[in-house]
């Protein structure tokens, strides 16, 4: 675990430190598109954040290659090289798109080529574990076709959800954390070495997202662009493919008591492969809804609009940050809930906890203007908007009184001789205290 944590920290640090210079480079290169009708930000923001994320990926793989335990992943498997090759290709196309706005079909072709590059180097699906049946082996062309399809779908799902500050990076980070926990359990819990590459990929992906998030949270100073969204989508797909298509359920049968039980234990791994409803459930649902919506209107499935899930949350009245947190909540609930259920599927309290948290999520969705209030003992530690109304009003009044009392008094103005006001008041200075100069003249 220490070597995985070291790899994670190095990836976070490199990504975080590179994002600042990359932002300056994006501004100098003119990678700041104008505000579009579907955008929710109000000021032009530089893209090309994927450059820093790709730097973090390379740094994480380089450090892992020089660690004693993780070095075996590179010696016994060609999957890290396959991932780096496919990631470099899709990242380069994303950089060009952030600058020159490539056609959607060109990007789709690049996604398929990147997936094909990984397949040619061995990162492919060999079999599918089916509940109640066991392991179903795939022919070479079936495995290759399924691998390419999964990579393309995952990349576009992540790309579609990248519409709010910090949304895509946070959701992918949650998905990567869930995959890491499950893959680490298979690797060190069951001793199945073929799960080591997926564990490494998930740890590096978490580092890429965590290092970029401080720069991308609302209000974002830089966007990841397609160079970042397509990159993290490909790494996420590679992690799921490596975990599901390379880990043999027959090896789990020795620990789970049979092949069918072992296949059931693979639940959070093969569901993202067949129908991604766990770690990328929200992006996948957004992708399906977008395709159906645009096709129904007679538009291209790749045509941009404001009908995504995060746009609908904003229309309901949620703030930018609140909409992002709600998406985080649902992604974490689905991903970690599935992992927890796969570990203790016979425990009923996990199902009850998931149902209870789902009810909380629905309440948050139906109360967009609800503002949580901190306890009175913690009001001094939170912003004024989270305090009780009376205390917030008192704090505002005290602040206003301090501003008034702390202001320097105005210098006295000379009194104009022979000018008297109503009730004996004296008009000071060249301007009278009367609201109208005519009244002042008549009062003389």
380 belongs to a structural domain? no
Show the domain range for 122.
2-309
Instruction: Write down the pLDDT at residue 66.
Output: 92
245 pLDDT higher than 90: no
Residue 368: what are its φ and ψ, rounded to 5°? -70, -25
65 belongs to a structural domain? yes
145 belongs to a structural domain? yes
The more confidently predicted of residues 383 and 226 is 226
Which of 58-67, 290-299, 310-319 has the weakest average pLDDT? 310-319
Q: What percent of the chain has pLDDT over 90?
A: 29
84-111 tens-digit pLDDT: 999 999 999 999 999 888 888 999 999 9
Instruction: Write down the pLDDT at residue 427.
Output: 41
Q: Which long-range contacts (CB under 8 A, 24 or more apart) does 338-345 make?
A: 338/178, 338/267, 338/268, 338/271, 338/278, 338/279, 339/178, 339/181, 339/182, 339/268, 339/278, 341/267, 342/182, 342/265, 342/266, 342/267, 342/268, 343/185, 345/264, 345/267
333 belongs to a structural domain? no
255-308 tens-digit pLDDT: 555 555 555 555 544 544 443 456 566 666 777 777 777 777 777 666 665 666
419-428 tens-digit pLDDT: 444 343 434 4
160 belongs to a structural domain? yes
Instruction: Write down the pLDDT at residue 333.
Output: 82
Q: Where are the alpha helices (DSSP H) in 30-139?
A: 50-65, 71-76, 79-100, 104-120
56 belongs to a structural domain? yes
Torsion angle, alpha carbons of 397, 400, 405, 406, to 10: 140
433 belongs to a structural domain? no
392-438 tens-digit pLDDT: 555 556 656 655 545 444 444 444 444 444 343 434 444 444 444 44
**Cα separation, 434 vs 138, whole angstroms:** 93
Q: How confident is the model at residue 119 (pLDDT cuts 50, 70, 90)?
A: very high
The more confidently predicted of residues 83 and 375 is 83
211 pLDDT higher than 50: yes
439 pLDDT higher than 50: no
Instruction: Write down the pLDDT at residue 437.
Output: 44
Mean pLDDT of 154-167: 83
432 belongs to a structural domain? no
- Share the mean pLDDT of the chain: 76
Q: Where are the alpha helices (DSSP H) in 275-407?
A: 281-296, 309-316, 320-343, 348-366, 389-405
The more confidently predicted of residues 22 and 415 is 22
166 pLDDT higher than 60: yes
| Overall domain count for the chain | 1
Q: What is the pTM of this model?
A: 0.73
């Amino acid at each position: 675990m220490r070597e995985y944590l070291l790899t994670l920290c190095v990836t976070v640090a490199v990504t975080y430190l590179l994002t600042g210079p990359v932002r300056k480079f994006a501004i100098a290169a003119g990678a700041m598109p104008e505000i579009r009708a579907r955008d929710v930000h109000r000021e032009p923001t530089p893209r090309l954040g994927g450059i820093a994320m790709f730097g973090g990926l390379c740094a994480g793989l380089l450090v892992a290659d020089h660690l004693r335990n993780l070095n075996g992943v590179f010696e016994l498997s060609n999957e890290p090289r396959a991932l780096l090759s496919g990631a470099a290709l899709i990242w380069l196309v994303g950089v060009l798109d952030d600058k020159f706005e490539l056609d959607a079909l060109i990007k789709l072709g690049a996604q398929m080529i990147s997936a094909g590059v990984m397949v040619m180097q061995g990162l492919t699906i060999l079999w599918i574990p089916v509940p109640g049946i066991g392991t179903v082996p795939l022919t070479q062309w079936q495995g290759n076709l399924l691998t390419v399809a999964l990579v393309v779908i995952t990349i576009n799902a992540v790309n579609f959800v990248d519409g709010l500050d910090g949304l895509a990076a946070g959701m992918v980070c949650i998905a990567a954390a869930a995959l890491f926990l499950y893959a680490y359990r298979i690797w060190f819990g069951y001793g199945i070495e073929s799960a080591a590459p997926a564990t490494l990929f998930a740890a590096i992906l978490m580092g890429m997202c965590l290092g970029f998030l401080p720069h991308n949270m609302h209000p974002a100073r830089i966007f990841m662009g397609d160079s970042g969204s397509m990159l993290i989508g490909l790494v996420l797909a590679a992690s799921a493919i490596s975990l599901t298509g390379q880990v043999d359920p027959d090896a789990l049968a020795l620990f789970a008591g049979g092949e069918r039980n072992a296949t059931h234990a693979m639940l959070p791994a093969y569901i993202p492969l067949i129908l991604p409803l766990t770690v990328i459930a929200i992006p996948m649902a957004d992708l399906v809804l977008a395709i159906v919506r645009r096709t129904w209107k007679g538009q291209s499935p790749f045509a941009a609009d404001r009908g995504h899930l995060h746009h609908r949350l904003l229309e309901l009245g949620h703030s930018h940050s609140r909409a992002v947190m709600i998406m985080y909540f649902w992604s974490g609930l689905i991903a970690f809930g599935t992992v927890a259920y796969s570990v203790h599927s016979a425990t009923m309290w996990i199902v009850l906890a998931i149902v209870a948290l789902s009810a909380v999520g629905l309440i948050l969705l139906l109360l967009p203007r609800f503002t949580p209030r901190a306890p009175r003992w913690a009001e001094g530690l939170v912003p004024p908007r989270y305090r009780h109304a009376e205390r917030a009003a008192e704090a505002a009044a005290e602040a206003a009184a301090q501003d008034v009392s702390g202001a320097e008094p105005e210098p006295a103005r000379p009194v104009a001789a022979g000018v008297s006001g109503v009730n004996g008041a004296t008009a000071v200075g060249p301007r009278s205290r009367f609201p109208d100069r005519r009244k002042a003249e008549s009062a003389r």
